[in-house]
Amino acid sequence: MSDRTDVWLAKSLERVLTPEQVMSGPAASRVYDCDAYTVKRHHPHAVVFPRTTEEVQKVVRWCLKNEIPFTPRGAGTGLSGGALAACGGVVIATTKMRRILEIDLKNRVMLAQAGCPNLRLTRAVEEHGLHFAPDPSSQTVCTLGGNICENSGGPHTLKYGVTADHVLGITLVDAQGEVRQFGGKVGGFPGLDLIGVVVGSEGTFGVVTEAWVRLTPLPSAVRTLLAAFPTPRDATETVSEVIASGIIPAAMEFMDGSVIEAVEAAFHTGLPTDAGALLLVECDAHEGRLASRTDQTIPNEPNERRDTTDDAEARVVAEIERVEAIAREHGAMSVQLAEDEDARAKLWTARKKGIGALGRLAPTIVTHDGVIPRSKLPEVLDFTYRIAKEKGIRVANIFHAGDGNLHPIFLFDDRDPKQVKAVVEAGEAVLRRCIAEGGSVSGEHGIGVEKIDLLAEMFSKEDLRMQEKIRKVFNSGSLCNPGKILPSQKSCVEVRLRHKGIAT
């Protein structure tokens, strides 16, 4: 696309919104040419920052009228290239749509704009003993819209469920430029579950602008421990054993020696540097009775004795002691129990900053995401170390072990094409192994551009055709986030040829 077209595009969009809401030129190209999957880059021609549903609709309609591709984007922390402007065009960034529009404490629900960062949702209600349960490790910046469109999980997904379990209603500007409302303030709307279809659609159905979410009571009793093991295998065998014992911890997170090294170099949190692997395990309990993964405590259920705070404390202490015993049976070298809230926060800082800290060890990191039955963790984890060694690249592992959700992180230099090739091949080998073990090529980071080919290995042609038909209900053209998820969408060539020379 020529500079002249670039200028025309930006000037036109400035008339649709305001000049302050449009970015173009080298700044837009460089800052918005990828998300946190940095292996694939493509620059957009303009980035817009709408503030309301109506402004999003105006931009989408302008793109449709002028046949310009558009890509929804939250904070750009996605790890599969979902927010990449694969065919150029306009990035619609929701980062100025950060308002919390309504908090209804009685009904434990909240309405927020899609660009609201995840942690802000919790901060707004924690003084009332509530929180937004999905907690991706990127939660200080990632947005509600990104969480919805990736169906994000997090450390506490094991007990509390993924984003889909916490979304009650969605406002979507669909790919035809129409504003759609699915669900609302209360759950369980009759009819087909269209929220369920939009959640996880990775921005290919349109732009989510607002959502009603469920608020979950904070636990009344919590215990957190850190167990250090000589090897990753000891730690992963402990994971299956804990679940087999009947305990469902709130979180069970794995970190290997490379992550310990990186975190200690960056943050000095006091992790045991002689360990080959760590498990961070948290058990919690609520007053009342925990009814389901969607957390709702049943207040006054007939014939049901409500747990008191003391009951919850006793239950949590018993669970964490059992976890400690299982860890020791599997060779734990040390077990450290967080004595107070500060100590607990420090352990979680180490975990949540783990991926970022790895950035110190190499110029580039790529985080993969596969899921397997958790009993298969020991051998599949061994496989990731073996394949990395074969390919001559370093790998670190930090993941939601309780869910069987692996995140091998390859450390390399993306200026060297040989290393990039090795990383892509190693990642694909791990994900193929996940499929072979009865798992999936994504636990929570989506398909994006990264795993588009692997999807064809997971699903039959008929299954993929069915998914394509559903996509077409929301997005009958090829302008909304083209080149993502479905193999039929892979090529941008056609899009580029048709859309007025947007090719680069």
Name the token pair of 372.
């397997």
Q: How far is the CB of 109 from ligand FAD (least distance, A)?
A: 19
- Kindly indicate which of the ranges 68-76, 99-107, 374-382, 429-437 contains the residues binding ligand FAD, using the contact rule CB under 6 A: 68-76
Asked if 444 interacts with ligand FAD (CB under 6 A), we say yes
On whether the CB atoms of residues 15 and 65 are closer than 8 A, the answer is no
Residue 211's contacts (CB-CB under 8 Å, 6 or more residues apart) are 111, 112, 114, 144, 145, 148, 167, 168, 169, 170, 171
Q: How far is the CB of 127 from ligand FAD (least distance, A)?
A: 25
Q: How far is the CB of 178 from ligand FAD (least distance, A)?
A: 15
- Ramachandran category for residue 246: left, alpha or beta (phi over 0 → left; psi -120 to 50 → alpha): left
Phi and psi for 104 in degrees, rounded to 5? -115, 95
Asked if 183 interacts with ligand FAD (CB under 6 A), we say no
Asked if 202 interacts with ligand FAD (CB under 6 A), we say yes
Q: Residue 204's CB: how many other CB atoms inside 10 A?
A: 23
Asked if 387 interacts with ligand FAD (CB under 6 A), we say no
In the window 278-317, what residues touch ligand FAD (CB under 6 A)? none
Asked if 203 interacts with ligand FAD (CB under 6 A), we say yes
Name the token pair of 483.
């080149």
From candidates 57, 94, 122, 258, binder to ligand FAD by CB under 6 A? 94
Q: How far is the CB of 139 from ligand FAD (least distance, A)?
A: 8
From candidates 73, 330, 433, 499, binder to ligand FAD by CB under 6 A? 73
Q: How far is the CB of 148 from ligand FAD (least distance, A)?
A: 7
Q: How far is CA 283 from CA 96, 116, 277, 307, 320, in A?
A: 36, 29, 20, 16, 6
Phi and psi for 426 in degrees, rounded to 5? -65, -45
Q: Which residue has the tokens 């990191």?
A: 365
From candidates 34, 59, 207, 409, binder to ligand FAD by CB under 6 A? 207
Asked if 76 interacts with ligand FAD (CB under 6 A), we say yes
Number of residues that bind ligand FAD (CB under 6 A): 37
Closest to ligand FAD by CB, 208 or 280: 208
Exposure of 238 in the CB half-sphere (CA atoms within 13 A): 33
From candidates 22, 23, 34, 36, binder to ligand FAD by CB under 6 A? 36
- Ramachandran category for residue 92: left, alpha or beta (phi over 0 → left; psi -120 to 50 → alpha): beta
On whether the CB atoms of residues 351 and 345 are closer than 8 A, the answer is no
Q: How far is the CB of 487 from ligand FAD (least distance, A)?
A: 16
- Kindly indicate which of the ranges 139-147, 224-232, 283-291, 317-325 contains the residues binding ligand FAD, using the contact rule CB under 6 A: 139-147
- Kindly indicate which of the ranges 134-142, 183-191, 268-276, 470-478 contains the residues binding ligand FAD, using the contact rule CB under 6 A: 134-142
- Kindly indicate which of the ranges 140-148, 383-391, 457-465, 494-502 contains the residues binding ligand FAD, using the contact rule CB under 6 A: 140-148
Residue 15's contacts (CB-CB under 8 Å, 6 or more residues apart) are none
Closest to ligand FAD by CB, 154 or 161: 154
Asked if 142 interacts with ligand FAD (CB under 6 A), we say yes
Closest to ligand FAD by CB, 149 or 326: 149
Q: How far is the CB of 35 from ligand FAD (least distance, A)?
A: 5
From candidates 35, 210, 324, 437, binder to ligand FAD by CB under 6 A? 35
On whether the CB atoms of residues 266 and 357 are closer than 8 A, the answer is yes
From candidates 59, 60, 208, 479, binder to ligand FAD by CB under 6 A? 208
Name the token pair of 229.
């093991």
On whether the CB atoms of residues 82 and 105 are closer than 8 A, the answer is no
Q: How far is the CB of 205 from ligand FAD (least distance, A)?
A: 7
Pairing between β-strand 394-400 and β-strand 370-371 as defined by DSSP bridges: unpaired
Strand runs labelled E in 382-498: 394-400, 405-406, 408-412
Q: How far is the CB of 7 from ligand FAD (least distance, A)?
A: 26
Phi and psi for 173 in degrees, rounded to 5? -90, 110
Q: Which of 172, 157, 65, 70 is nearest to 118 (CA)?
A: 157
CA distance 122 to 132: 5
Asked if 138 interacts with ligand FAD (CB under 6 A), we say yes
CA distance 42 to 32: 8
Asked if 220 interacts with ligand FAD (CB under 6 A), we say no
Closest to ligand FAD by CB, 79 or 441: 79
CA distance 382 to 79: 23
Interface residues with ligand FAD (CB under 6 A) are: 35-36, 71-79, 82-83, 94, 114, 136-138, 142-143, 145-147, 149-150, 152-154, 202-203, 207-208, 355-356, 444-445, 481
